[in-house]
């Protein structure tokens, strides 16, 4: 049986042979290989093969060109900003996103506590008619360190015999006063018992806060809560004189998110869920003590200093 010859890559000397004894043509042997078969096929059927190849190229062009040139076809509709807006609206209609205020509320809620100052030694803090009739001071606080350190207003706990807290998960605890900053109406509380999953709020500097920025106030107005109200920063560097005239608070954040008695000590929160102030007062031109659209908060820089934390 004949074998296909193996070719070495190195040159080799071939002995000269007489012209009469020339080597026979090896085409028949080569035809047994795949390369020889293709060569033979191309030689025998050259014209049909070229025709077939041309037909394939023509078909490819017919299929590809309409897609490649579709943006330039007469009558083609280019994608516009209105098309994109319509697609976005359709997507939002199918699955509406939560509002920025709702997201901010959910972020800070685990850190908001209800604060009750018990003014009578006989008041156990229980929610019973005979207990509720006793003198109490109601407010809100916010956890700033997960070891149970809480900021609130000094006027919420001033003169209290005991201070009672209710965390966001419903767990209750007593607290002790560990610090105060009367010039900013701030008090620092330390809870005696803590929930296992207690979370501290995230605080941020007010250096980039501007009038018109959206904020929420979270607290327990009139004991109802936790409640959230939504508004904007109305002004900065405001002053407020307490109704008794005892002190004047300065460098305050003015806001118009609804606040009422019970909101005192609660957080003022930006749309990223971060605390920029502690709600401390509302403007009351009448004796009804209801919100008329002007509230004030102590900047968080002052509040952090009251808790012994470095300023931003």
Average pLDDT, the chain: 79
Number of domains in the chain: 1
Q: Give the pLDDT confidence score for residue 288 in this predicted structure.
A: 67
pLDDT at 131: 56
Confidence of residue 70 (pLDDT cuts 50, 70, 90): low
CB 297 within 8 A of CB 279: yes
State the catalytic residue, choosing from 123, 155, 229, 256. Answer: 155
Q: Region 110-130: what's the mean pLDDT?
A: 80
Is residue 166 situated within a structural domain? yes
Residue 154: inside a domain: yes
Tell whether the model's pLDDT for residue 45 goes beyond 90. no
Instruction: Band the pLDDT of 74: cuts 50, 70, 90.
Output: low
CA distances from 24 to 17, 21, 29, 37, 240 (A): 13, 9, 11, 20, 116
On the question of pLDDT at 53 being above 60, the answer is yes
Domain-embedded: residue 118: yes
Among 1-15, 54-68, 155-169, 222-236, the least confident range: 1-15
Active site residue 214: no
CB 215, CB 269: distance < 8 Å: yes
Sign of the CA dihedral running 88, 215, 194, 302? positive
Task: Look up the domain containing 182 and give its range.
Answer: 103-306
In-domain check, residue 61: no
Nearest to 135 by CA among 154, 155, 167, 161: 161
What confidence tens digit (pLDDT) does each residue in 183-201 have?
A: 899 999 999 999 999 999 9
Would residue 50 count as lying in a domain? no
Residue 1 included in any domain: no
Q: Which of 185, 220, 234, 256 is catalytic?
A: 185
0.85 exceeded by pTM: no
Catalytic residue selected from 137, 173, 229, 264: 264
**Residue 185 is among the residues annotated as catalytic for this protein:** yes
| DSSP per-residue string spanning 230-263 | EEEEEEEEEEEE-TTSS-EEEEEEEE-S---TT-
Classify residue 267: in a domain, yes or no: yes
Would residue 264 show up in a list of annotated catalytic residues for this protein?
yes
Max distance between CA atoms of the chain, in angstroms, equals 135
Q: Is residue 208 part of a domain?
A: yes
Where residue 120 sits, what CATH number does that domain have? Answer: 2.40.10.120
């Amino acid at each position: 049986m004949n074998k296909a010859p193996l070719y070495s890559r190195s040159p080799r000397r071939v002995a000269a042979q007489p012209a009469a004894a020339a080597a026979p043509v090896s085409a028949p042997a080569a035809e047994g290989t795949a390369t020889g078969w293709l060569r033979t096929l191309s030689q025998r059927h050259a014209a049909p093969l070229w025709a077939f190849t041309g037909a394939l190229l023509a078909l490819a062009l017919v299929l590809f060109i309409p897609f490649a040139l579709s943006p330039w076809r007469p009558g083609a509709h280019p994608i516009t900003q209105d098309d994109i807006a319509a697609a976005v609206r359709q997507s939002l209609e199918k699955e509406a996103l939560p509002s920025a205020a709702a997201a901010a509320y959910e972020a800070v809620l685990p850190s908001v506590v209800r604060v009750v100052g018990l003014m009578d030694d006989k008041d156990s803090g229980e929610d019973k008619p005979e207990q509720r009739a006793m003198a109490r001071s109601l407010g809100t606080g916010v956890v700033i360190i997960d070891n149970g350190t809480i900021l609130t207003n000094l006027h919420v706990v001033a003169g209290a015999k005991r201070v009672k807290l209710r965390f966001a998960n419903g767990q209750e605890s007593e607290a002790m006063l560990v610090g105060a900053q009367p010039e900013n109406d701030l008090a620092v509380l330390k809870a005696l018992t803590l929930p296992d999953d207690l979370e501290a709020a995230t605080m941020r500097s007010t250096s980039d806060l501007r009038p018109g920025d959206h904020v929420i106030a979270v607290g327990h107005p009139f004991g109802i809560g936790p409640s959230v109200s939504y508004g904007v920063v109305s002004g900065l560097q405001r002053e407020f004189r307490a109704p008794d005239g005892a002190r004047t608070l300065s460098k305050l954040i003015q806001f118009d998110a609804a606040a009422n008695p019970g909101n005192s000590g609660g957080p003022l929160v930006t749309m990223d869920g971060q605390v920029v102030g502690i709600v401390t007062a509302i403007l009351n031109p009448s004796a009804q003590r209801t919100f008329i659209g002007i509230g004030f908060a102590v900047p968080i820089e002052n509040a952090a200093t009251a808790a012994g934390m470095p300023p931003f």
